[in-house]
Chain A
């Protein structure tokens, strides 16, 4: 052990990285062109060659700089530029709908440019192998950023969907309705309940209609969520009607054994509105009489 520099970089490693820098600098143009060709063959024109060229040129320079100052320590400070470029590249690819392969190829194709031939010296083969490992690590890093971006997109979309799919509409003076569409899980119920209760206060309504025509299946969890929402609305002094109970849903609810108790349910939204209006006018009449 003739000395380890900077903890991890051995003399041998440094020689290899120096040799790689030499190779990559000497044949910059031809290697860069080969890299570009490899990548654009896979992407088949889905991204303009000029843009790809710019991306890869920046990456190439950053990589050479990284090798020169930081050896193979791709997680170190010397590679900050490389990681930033790769992060940007994979985020863009993820947003534009490229596949993981199409994203990782930008990095992995960089391995092939120094692929050894029969004339390659033993040192250069070793340099190639070391570069290969480095590019694999960077490729994985790229994929990780890619996957993370996709997850962010998905969670943002599901949030938007949740907002979109729970509108509370005012049907009449004093009557608001929530048309529910799709799956009703705990998270959505929470949003629905909050919105409904807030709208009841904001509009001064005392009749709420929850329409479940668009809910494909009412299981015990959905029923429980509905019941909770109704109870919460009642606590605020509002009357809640559940409408949109289709025949197959009615039969399923009976077979499951769910009891809706004294909650008013109607087959259609129109019936529920009629019911709500009748109840309101009775209330109004009484109020008028007392005045």
Chain B
């Protein structure tokens, strides 16, 4: 789905996602980083929205987990990356989960697939019974 996974640099921040308030906190943290990295307003909003979707997925479908986020560098570009990890049930059928409009819950079924379209890099590791890890990155232009 993308090249080597960017790893948040040393001063990345980790927050636990265990309630709806944590989703809001995750969103605010990503927004702060996006502003610091000078992403355009559109890109900021896209990244924040993707983070919001993924944080909520972590909470609702993964039963809670953590988000690690920080600035990343590749060549001369700067970006913001956010990694969402849960040890929930995992995703049995990834293609289905990434289909627009399909949901195993009560949502619109656009969260995961939409988040992929909102960011530049998107990687997803999942194993049934072990959990899911989603990493997204948005690069400054």
CA distance A218 to B110 in the complex (A): 13
A40 vs B115: C-alpha distance when bound (angstroms): 55
Is A120 among interface residues, defined by CB-CB distance under 8 A?
no
Also in contact, A220 and B45, with CB within 8 A (given A185-B20, A258-B108): no
Q: Does A30 contact B (CB under 8 A)?
A: no
With an 8 A cutoff between CB atoms, is B107 at the interface? yes
Which residues of chain B are near A185, meaning CB under 8 Å? Answer: 20, 24
Measured CB to CB, the closest approach of chain B to A234, in angstroms, equals: 18
Tell me what chain A mostly uses at the interface: helix, strand, loop, or mixed. Answer: helix
Is the beta-carbon distance between A248 and B56 smaller than 8 angstroms? no
**Of B27, B107, B111, the contact of A217 (CB 8 Å cutoff):** B27
Give A216 to B115 CA distance when docked, in angstroms. 17
A-B contact pairs, 9 of them (CB 8 A): A183-B24, A216-B27, A216-B31, A219-B49, A219-B53, A220-B108, A220-B111, A252-B42, A255-B114
Residue-wise, chain A 244-259 has the 8 Å CB interface mask toward B (1 for contact) of 0001110110011110
CA distance A183 to B117 in the complex (A): 23
Q: Within the assembled complex, what's the spacing in Å between the Cα atoms of A252 and B117?
A: 9
Task: Tell me the dominant secondary structure on chain B's binding face.
Answer: helix
Q: Nearest-CB distance from B52 to chain A (Å)?
A: 4
Quick check: is B9 within 8 A (CB to CB) of the other chain? no
Q: Indicate whether A216 sits within 8 Å of B48 (C-beta atoms), given known contacts A224-B108, A257-B117.
A: yes
Whether A255 contacts B118 by the Cβ 8 Å rule is yes
Q: In this assembly, does A145 line the interface, its C-beta being within 8 Å of a C-beta of chain B?
A: no
The verdict on A221 contacting chain B, using a C-beta distance below 8 Å, is: yes
Query: CB-defined interface of A189-219 with B at 8 Å, one 1/0 digit per residue?
Result: 0000000000000000000000000001111
CA distance A219 to B100 in the complex (A): 14
B41 at the interface (CB under 8 A from A): yes
Q: Does B46 contact A (CB under 8 A)?
A: yes
Tell yes or no: A223 within 8 A of B by CB.
yes
B16 within 8 Å of A (CB atoms):
no
Residues of chain B in range 2-55 having any CB-CB distance to chain A below 8 Å: 20, 24, 27, 31, 41-42, 44-46, 48-49, 52-53
